[in-house]
Every structure is written in structure tokens, then in C-alpha cells.
Structure 1
Amino acid sequence: MQFGMRKPSIKKSISARTKGKAKRAVKKAVIPGYGKKGTGWIKDPKKAVYNKVYSKTTFSFWDLFK
């Protein structure tokens, strides 16, 4: 588990804003339960716990400017 600041990646950031955004929009239109709050706990509880802890123990480089 990581603590502190996440290492920024320009490549991943651009990918999430372009290709990733389009893929999520298509999935949301096709799959009825996709992107709904709380479905991660049902689908994969172990990963949901990990993600919850990870998001609380780390912060982004861009959070420093907020």
C-alpha cells in the first residue's frame, strides 16, 4: 500500500481524458449497471476496500494547487 503523493503520469492522464472517457461513455450506454455508485462493493469487495484505503492515504500532485 502506498502513502503520500502519487507519482504523476502525463501519458495516463491524457489517456483517461480522451480514449478512456469515450470508452466509459459507451459502456454506460450499453451496460445498465455500469458506473453506478456502490456496485464495486457487490462485484469485488476486496478490490473496493483496497481502493477506498488507497484513495484516503494518497493524494494527487494537482491536489497541492487546490
Structure 2
Amino acid sequence: MAKPVIFGAGDNVGRMVVREALRRGHAVTAVVRDPARLRGLSADGARVEAGRRDPRPAGAGPGRRA
């Protein structure tokens, strides 16, 4: 069993890819940018991660340069 990570899983095509991968028995991690688009993905059986919206690298806080 593969463990694919699907980025852009919150849009129409991404959801179809997630569902197909789950149908084939894969352990899917679905990544979405907007947490509001999570609905339904975890109910389908995917592990869902909300991506970071801040374009700065992790650890580059306010006033720091990346």
C-alpha cells in the first residue's frame, strides 16, 4: 500500500484524486491551504493537513528577514 501526499486536495480535481487513491486502498494524506475546505475529506478516510498560508519560512517571525 502506497502512502501518497496529495497537495491541492481541497479543489475539485484534488478531491477526485484523494477519493480514487482511497478507493485503491492507499493511506492518503490530503493537504489543503484553506482549512475551510477540509470538510468531507477526513470523512472519506484521508488524513488531512492544513498548509501554512504565510510565505515566510518557518521561524521567520515578525521583523525577521527570511
Same-fold call, TM cutoff 0.5: no
Please give the TM-score of this superposition, normalised by the length of structure 2.
0.27
Structure number having the greater strand percentage = 2
Query: What TM-score comes out, normalization by structure 1 length?
Result: 0.27
